Amino acid sequence: MSDYETRLKRLNDAIALKEPDQVPNITQGQCFPILDAGHTMKDALYNFDILEDSLVKFAQKYQPDSLMCINATLCGMGPAYELMGIKNLHWAGMKDSPISDKSCHQYIEYPILEDDEFPEFMTDYLSWFLEKGMPRNFGAVEPFSKMGLTTIMPMYLGFQALPMAFSSPEAREMIETFWKVADLMKDIDQKNFAMIGKLAELGFPAQALGFGYVPFDAYSDMMRGTILSLQDLYDHEDAVLQYNAKFLNEMKAGIAAQGQVLKGKWVFVPLHKGMDRFLSDEQYRKFYWNDLREVIECIIDNGMTPYIFTEGPYNSRLECLKEVPKGKVIYHFEECDMARAKKELGDIACISGNFPVTMLQFGTVAQVRDEVKRLLDICAPGGGYMFDTSCALDEAKRENVEAMMEAVSLYGKK
């Protein structure tokens, strides 16, 4: 078998709960490959080619079994963000950037749905979305707030009013901006797929290329913010459930579309608001898990593998995580009792994660090696396990990353 086929078999064996010849190493670099190659995130946000150069060097040097979420760093997107006037994101290189040139992007959470807008939000979502929601997130679409699109009547009068609504200087500028952003995105997409092909030729599968979202995470992240969304579970329960149902249908359609081009690949689903103690057990099932389970099943039904990236502690949620098709799902844990996770999920789903990135930044080489061995001793026996860190490497020490990768190869053999 080729190197690519060998690595892909390891990944697929682990997903199928088998024990491969070697524990697959799917450590996520994120900013680390770029920084390790001598670049900055500021440079990479404005030059996609830096990402390819960095990932090729990372793969050849550290020999991972997969390259994960290969553009989670949003390389090349800086010009598009500037054109769109995005308001809920800080990135390295933006004007008056509050973050380091070496930093990954940072999302800024704030409510775009105001307290007095729930009647409109529930009964006329499209009007609210076009005239209030979108303009509060993107400066480039602020003309929508003044165009009165949702008041235009169909048939004959609409024939006159619709072109007029888009004829103002602001609307014309907005459309031209859309074209520029679309051209930028097409260029990045083409380079992205070319990079995936190059990495495959070098023997490295690229995985977690698709994206999925839990409806309540979308509501909390983008509509109301964390604190208000939790209050809404009591004050606006109907609105939350209505939004979740709408978003779930849209998410399923998006997953089906991804399945047309990403058969056999993984779909990255980050879990932002499902951690222990964040929601009660009852709330977790009602507002979170039931929808997440449908997202997982939809990904599987469309020929892809759900890569569920839990964030925060996740010990109390393991009972729910068992309710998925056997040998079809990967659960990544940032913080979890891995012995318990292995016991609860070992015959149901592949597990990964939990190696502390803080140790790579602040620990010693000896500590890193010992922790790798400890984690492998718990999780590797019997298969159904992939090695990964708790989150992305980013500014980890190079010598510690080298020690970790070597230890996984040494202690991870069958």
* Distance from the first to the final alpha carbon of the chain: 18
Q: Is residue 41 in a domain?
A: no
Print pLDDT tens along the chain (414 aa): 899 999 999 999 999 999 999 999 999 899 999 999 999 999 999 999 999 999 999 999 999 999 998 888 999 999 999 999 999 999 999 999 899 999 999 999 999 999 999 999 999 998 999 999 999 999 999 998 988 877 776 655 556 777 888 888 999 999 999 999 999 999 999 999 999 999 999 999 999 999 999 999 999 999 999 999 999 999 999 999 999 999 999 999 999 999 999 999 999 999 999 999 999 999 999 999 999 999 999 999 999 999 999 999 999 999 999 999 999 999 999 999 999 999 999 999 999 999 999 999 999 999 999 999 999 999 999 999 999 999 999 999 999 999 999 999 999 998
Q: Rounded CA gap, 121 and 104, in Å?
A: 33
Q: Over the chain, what HEC string results?
A: CCHHHHHHHHHHHHHCCCCCCECCECCCCCCHHHHHCCCCHHHHHCCCHHHHHHHHHHHHHHCCCCEECCCCCCCCCHHHHHHHCECCEECCCCCCCCCCCCCCCEECCCCCCCHHHHHHHHHCHHHHHHHHHHHHHEHHHCCHHHHCHHHCCCHHHHHHHHHHHCCCHHHHHHHHHHHHHHHHHHHHHHHHHHHHHHHHHCCCCEECCEECCCHHHHHHHHHHCHHHHHHHHHHCHHHHHHHHHHHHHHHHHHHHHHHCCCCCCEEEEEECCCCCCCCCHHHHHHHHHHHHHHHHHHHHHCCCEEEEEECCECHHHHHHHCCCCCCCCEEEECECCHHHHHHHHCCCCEEEECECHHHHHHCCHHHHHHHHHHHHHHHCCCCCEEECECCCCCCCCHHHHHHHHHHHHHHCEC
pLDDT score for 159 = 66
pLDDT score for 20 = 96
Residue with tokens 């994206």: 211
Q: Is residue 231 in a domain?
A: yes
Q: Is 401 left (phi over 0), alpha (psi -120 to 50) or beta?
A: alpha
Q: Is residue 289 in a domain?
A: yes
Q: Rounded CA gap, 350 and 346, in Å?
A: 7
Two structure tokens written together for 31: 């900013």
Q: Is residue 150 in a domain?
A: no
pLDDT score for 157 = 57
Per the structure, the complete domain to which residue 399 belongs is given by: 3-27+64-69+208-411
CATH code of residue 282: 3.20.20.210
Q: Over 283-341, what HEC string results?
A: HHHHHHHHHHHHHHHHHHHCCCEEEEEECCECHHHHHHHCCCCCCCCEEEECECCHHHH
pLDDT score for 161 = 78
Two structure tokens written together for 69: 């979420």
pLDDT score for 146 = 87
Q: Rounded CA gap, 159 and 271, in Å?
A: 44
Two structure tokens written together for 98: 């509050």
Q: Rounded CA gap, 234 and 224, in Å?
A: 14
Q: Is residue 258 in a domain?
A: yes
pLDDT score for 147 = 86
Q: Are strands 266-271 and 305-310 parallel, antiparallel or unpaired?
A: parallel
| Single-letter code of the amino acid located at 270 | P
Q: How many domains does the chain have?
A: 1
Q: Is residue 53 in a domain?
A: no
Q: Rounded CA gap, 309 and 103, in Å?
A: 21
Name residues whose C-beta falls within 8 Å of residue 29's C-beta, 6 or more positions apart in sequence.
36, 55, 58, 67, 392, 393
Q: Is residue 307 in a domain?
A: yes
Q: Is residue 166 in a domain?
A: no
Question: How far, in Å, are 142, 171, 180, 369 from residue 177 at the CA level?
Answer: 12, 10, 5, 51
pLDDT score for 155 = 57
